[in-house]
Amino acid sequence: MQLRYSFRIHPTAGQCKSLARAFGCARVVWNDALRLRQDAHAAGLPFPRSADLSKSLITQAKKTAEREWLSGAPVGVLQQSLRDQDQAWRNFFDSVKGKRPGLKVEPPRFKTRRDNRQSARYTRSDRWSVTEADRLRLPKVGDIKVTWSRRLPSEPSSVTVVKDPAGRYWASFVVETDPAADLLPEIGADCGIDLGLTHFAITDQGVKIDSPRFLRRAEKKLKKAQRELSRKVRGSRNREKARVKVARAHARVANARKDWQHKLSTRLISENQAVYVETLSVAGLGRTRLAKSVHDAGWAQFVGMLEYKAARYGRTVIRVDRGFPSSRLCSACGHNTGAKPLSVREWGCPHCGTRHDRDVNAARNIRTEGRRIRAVRQHHIPGDVPALTG
């Protein structure tokens, strides 16, 4: 399977200028191609192919006075920009045709130098390499110092250099790994998880994992940095410094959240053969008064980590439909007790008399429904498995 490894790089001032040139050239080719394709669509003409665009926007454009500076970037970076746009269009068309259910993909948009994130992808045709001194050698840039946090498991096929909003540079490598080498031995344990705000995750065993609330803890510093930014004159160098300061503060919050979720998701995948979670409408909850807490929790990122780690290590992650009444059912007898306000954290079943912790009971119901879905899928029944509703 394909994996992506990102490492911090530290280009010199001259190398930063060379990378900025590569970012700009790739951005211009992207915008030129997007404009031609939009014009062709408006005129009812066939969709221009990348091979034709490569000739006109790269090969021939370099010979003109208006675009001769495209020679400042490797040709592979420019061609990769066209290939990336092809993929963006395919994703959009698949979304329109319903081939990507549950995921709405917007059409490609124009890029600008004012975008806080800039990138350029180097393929093997550009002859980039990692030197014996463990530096990243890029064409027309030079040898860049890299902070290696681990060794790459195999030879990378491409590297994407990214400049993030905080002004940091990253090298992102794509590598192919042997799926059989990463598989973990099978175990009999499984786990149902109910995600929440007071507690980030509650397992069916009654384990409650507190939410770190990284954004809330850093809110005072973020407010101060944002207030300083709002007082700077637009277009001034001081405003740019203040913007970077805000971006770095947000990056620290995002990094802390991602690190914590990586550790938790790895532990859950290691300890369980199957993990069952409820599908949450994060977009809908993000429009309520709980929006800041919902985004601070980062449920979608966490579930995504569980899914890709399960695929890598031979585990199973099953999403239970959010229409499943996990908070209404008694996990002991299955009786539906109806809707309850969020203030009710404990309740007793009127049918069997069992006392329940609201969140633990929901996690146990999610585990039961997840086991049912897993059993149906293991019997090779095609199509989606409908969730029990009530």
Q: How far apart are CA 113 and CA 308, in angstroms?
A: 33
Cβ neighbors of 282 (< 8 A, separation 6 or more) are 294, 299, 300
Q: How far apart are CA 32 and CA 189, in angstroms?
A: 54
Which of 278, 296, 307, 369 is labelled catalytic? 278
Q: How far apart are CA 108 and CA 284, in angstroms?
A: 24
**Residue 345 · residue 357 · CB < 8 Å:** yes
Nearest to residue 89, comparing CAs of 106, 77, 76?
106
Which tokens in the block code for residue 34?
A: 């997007």
Any catalytic annotation for residue 359?
yes
**Residue 293 · residue 357 · CB < 8 Å:** no
Which tokens in the block code for residue 225?
A: 């940095």
Any catalytic annotation for residue 346?
no
Burial 235-261 (b: 16+ CB within 10 A, else e): eeeebeebbbbbbebbbebeeebeebb
Which of 296, 307, 359, 369 is labelled catalytic? 359
**Residue 136 · residue 144 · CB < 8 Å:** yes
**Residue 158 · residue 123 · CB < 8 Å:** yes
Which of 32, 190, 194, 204 is labelled catalytic? 194
Enzyme catalytic residues:
194, 278, 359
